[in-house]
């Protein structure tokens, strides 16, 4: 990942100032206009940088958009152990949902999803950086809950994760309803209540 500190690199070193300016300009333009309407030329101008410098470090506009989004999106609240699943999940999801709602990140995510659904390599990279990291934190919480006996041992964890993140992404991308704490808490509650049901109610589920 990081260059060997003893390996001296020849030539002029990469300008960190330029990198920061590019990522910063990108995120602003992307949030304002979305991926499609953000041109690399515009980023270059806004960052006070040459277009060649951008393409030297990012092979496509989407790769740059991914890095730019990651910069903001990766503020990871560690999966703290509060003692209860419910609180753990709230601690995990609420700050993230708040972040998602604060600015139109949906514009960038939608643009990246276009690439995800068509470009398998990009999809791998995208999921690793934006989905898997957060899912892993949820997974830890759920497994801890199993150990604690809060939820059944046969809980379908992957599906539960989709039920926690899916509704938030749904509103983020479609914009038909707001993403607020009430919404997130209700989702968490319903999921948690749903995975430890009263057996008596499930009589008709077998049909």
Task: Tell me if 42 contacts a copy of itself by CB under 8 A.
Answer: no
| Least Cβ distance, residue 136 to a copy of itself (angstroms) | 12
CB atoms near residue 3 (< 10 Å): 8
Task: Tell me if 162 contacts a copy of itself by CB under 8 A.
Answer: yes
* Size of interface with a copy of itself, in residues (CB under 8 A): 59
Binding part of the chain for a copy of itself, among 13-21, 27-35, 68-76, 139-147 by CB under 8 A, reads: 27-35
| Least Cβ distance, residue 57 to DNA (angstroms) | 6
Contact 127, 136 (CB under 8 A): no
CB atoms near residue 128 (< 10 Å): 10
Task: Tell me if 202 contacts a copy of itself by CB under 8 A.
Answer: yes
DSSP string, 160-193: HHHHHHHHHHHHHHH-SS---HHHHHHHHHHHHH
The closest alpha carbon to 115, from 129, 100, 103, 101, belongs to 129
Contact 66, 124 (CB under 8 A): no
Q: What does the binding site for a copy of itself look like in residue numbers (CB under 8 A)?
A: 33-37, 84, 86-87, 104, 106-107, 110-111, 113-114, 116-118, 123, 127, 131-132, 156, 158-160, 162-163, 165-171, 173-177, 183, 185-187, 189-198, 201-202, 204-205, 207
């Amino acid at each position: 990942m990081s260059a060997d500190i003893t390996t001296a690199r020849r030539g002029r070193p990469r300008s960190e100032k330029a990198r920061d300016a590019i990522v910063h300009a990108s995120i602003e333009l992307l949030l304002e206009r979305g991926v499609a309407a953000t041109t690399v030329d515009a980023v270059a101008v806004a960052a006070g940088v040459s277009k060649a410098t951008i393409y030297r470090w990012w092979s496509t506009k989407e790769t740059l958009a991914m890095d730019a989004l990651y910069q903001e999106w990766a503020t990871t609240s560690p999966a703290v152990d509060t003692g209860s699943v419910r609180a753990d999940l709230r601690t995990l999801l609420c700050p993230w949902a708040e972040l998602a709602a604060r600015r139109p990140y949906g514009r960038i995510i939608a643009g990246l999803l276009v690439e995800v659904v068509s470009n398998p390599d990009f999809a791998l990279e995208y999921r690793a950086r934006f989905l898997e990291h957060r899912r892993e934190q949820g997974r830890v919480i759920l497994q801890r809950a199993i150990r604690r006996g809060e939820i059944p041992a046969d809980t379908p964890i992957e599906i539960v994760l989709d039920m926690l993140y899916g509704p938030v992404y749904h509103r983020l991308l479609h914009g038909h309803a707001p993403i607020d704490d009430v919404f997130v808490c209700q989702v968490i509650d319903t999921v948690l209540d749903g995975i430890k049901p009263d057996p008596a109610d499930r009589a008709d589920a077998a049909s």
